Each structure stands twice: as C-alpha cells, then as structure tokens.
Amino acid sequence: MSQSTVWIEHDQDALRLRVIADTLPAYVAYVDTDLRYAMANRMYEEQFGRGEREIVGRPVAEVLGPSFENVAARLRAALAGEAQLFESPMQTVEGERYLLVRHIPDRDLAGQVRGVIVHGIDITERKRSEQVLLQTEKLAAVGRLASSIAHEINNPLESVVNLVYLIETTALEDAEQAVRYAHLAQQELARVSQIATQTLRFFKQSTAPKLANMAELIESVLTLYSGRLSNSNITLERQFDDTMQILCFEGEVRQVLNNLVGNALDAMRLGGRLLVRTRRGFDWQTGRIGCRITIADTGEGMSPATLSRSSRHSSRRKASPAPG
C-alpha cells in the first residue's frame, strides 16, 4: 500500500512539473544521451507543429529538421558536461525565429550526465529592433561621412575655380605665372581624386577578410580630414608601426576609424591636439595577438547623456595580425 502511495506521489509531482513547464513562455525540453526527446512542453509542441507523441522518443534531428545543424554541436557539448548559452535561428510554424538557448547538463547522483535540459526564449523581436537600430546608426554615420567628404572636396574645387580665373586673366601678360597657377590647379584636382579614391574604399564590399597595413588604413581616413584638421587649428600626432598588418574587412575598419576621428574633431571646435597611435596588443582571454589603436583628443569630452548612450551600444572589434 505504501509503495503504491509513493508512486502516486511521484506521478503527481511529474504532473505538477509538466503543468508548470506548459505555462512558461519558453521552449522547454529534455534530451537524453541518444539525442532523443524525453519531454517537451506545450510551447515546444506548438512552435514545431508536433504533438507529444510526435516528439517524445523521437530523435532531435527528426523534430528540428534543417535547424538541427544549428544546435547539434551544442547538444553534444552539453552531453559532454559543458553548459551552453547561445543565440540561434530556428524554423518554426511561424517561420524563422531567433532563440536564446540554454543547454544545461543533467547529472545523476554519481555525477554522470544523463541528459540535457533545453530552455529557449524567443528573442526575434529584440533582434529585429537591434537590426533597425544598427541600420539607423549606419545611416547616421554615412551622413556624417558624406558631409565631411563634401566639405573636403569643396575646398580644393573652390581653389581650382579661383586658379582658373587667375590663369585667364594673367595668361597673356605673364605666361610663367599662369603656368604656376596651372600646376597649383593640378595639385588641387589630384587632391580631389585622392579623396574620391579613399571614399570608394570605405564602401568596397569584401566577401572575406584580407591583409591590410594598419598605418595605410589609418592614413586613408586621415586624408579625408586633412583640410578640416588644418582649418580647425588641430595638431595631428602620428605614432604608427608601419610594419603592422592585420586580417580584416578594410571597409568596416575604415568606417569605425572614421567615426572615432570625426567624434574627436567635433570635440575640438576651438582647436587642440589629436593623437593617433597603433601598438601591438594582447587579448588575455583568447591569447591572441592583435592591434591596439588609440585615438585621443584634448576636446571637451562627451556629456553624461551621450556617454551613457554610447556605453550601451558600444561593441569591441578585434583584428588579428598576419602570421609572422
């Protein structure tokens, strides 16, 4: 009689846990060591369009279909005893959704892994909001870059217009002076051509990272601001390692550097000093050698509101140098 009572209590506990799991706004499942489902909650069933009998006892690969490849390695790592936390796209009855997934190893009393607890939260809307914010920030950066380029191109073009006028008025009276004016006009046009070339590099798309000289990358950005630097009474100090090469997407690195230099110049409206420095760096977490870029200015700095917004949306970018 007591044994039957114990089993009834166990069944009631399992039922309570199942009711709790079904009320959670999350994907909850249990996967055994054979990568088969031992349990799945209501949301799991609904989102993958299968009933309990079509999930429990079935291989994970069969239930998830093409999405299994997104989690297979993670599940095996969890079965090896390593807890997992990652984001992954999944194909559901509602189409592709992004989940924040946890794989938690379940151990017996001896400490052996006997299965994996799966917990997933739908973060699709958050991912979409992040994409919208990213696109907005990119458009703002492009607008600032376009404004800087227009300003840098306008100055030499104005010089060319003035020089052409001087050539017209002095050609008959002083041929040598007209020739000097013509040479100056050629220099200004070469400057415009250089700016146009550097601008095209900003938006050059690459399918794979390539080796790039760090000093040349930075100089290509500073070229776009040379006129503004001289007109704003800003002293530029360079401290480059001319031999340092990194493996990167050049266009993306240029855009990051452009934002940093542009922010520095905005902070020094009354003049100042801009330091641009490269050094070899070391990532203590991964052990990888990289490049540390310092862009420092003597400007007024960011307001508390701007600093708070910047810290929320900042991200770290790392680049590895070429072997040898």
> Given pLDDT bands bounded at 50, 70 and 90, which one contains residue 221?
confident
Domains of the chain from N-terminus onward: 11-122 (3.30.450.20), 124-203 (1.10.287), 205-324 (3.30.565.10)
Q: For 177, how many CA atoms within 13 A lie in the half-sphere containing its CB?
A: 11
Q: Across residues 135-153, what is the average pLDDT?
A: 75
> Given pLDDT bands bounded at 50, 70 and 90, which one contains residue 179?
confident
Helix, strand counts (H, E) of the chain? 10, 11
Q: What Rg, from alpha-carbon coordinates, does the chain have?
A: 31
| Residue 240 exposed, middle or buried by CB count within 10 Å (0-12, 13-18, 19+) | middle
**Which has the minimum average pLDDT: 114-123, 254-263, 266-275?**
254-263
Strand 289-297's sheet: what is its strand order?
234-239, 272-282, 289-297
Residues 6+ positions from 70 with CB-CB distance below 8 Å: 88, 89, 90
The C-alpha atoms of residue 280 and residue 206 are separated, in whole angstroms, by: 25
The values of phi and psi at residue 319, to 5°, are -140, 140
Provide the pLDDT for residue 76.
95
The C-alpha atoms of residue 263 and residue 44 are separated, in whole angstroms, by: 47
pLDDT for 316 beyond 70: no
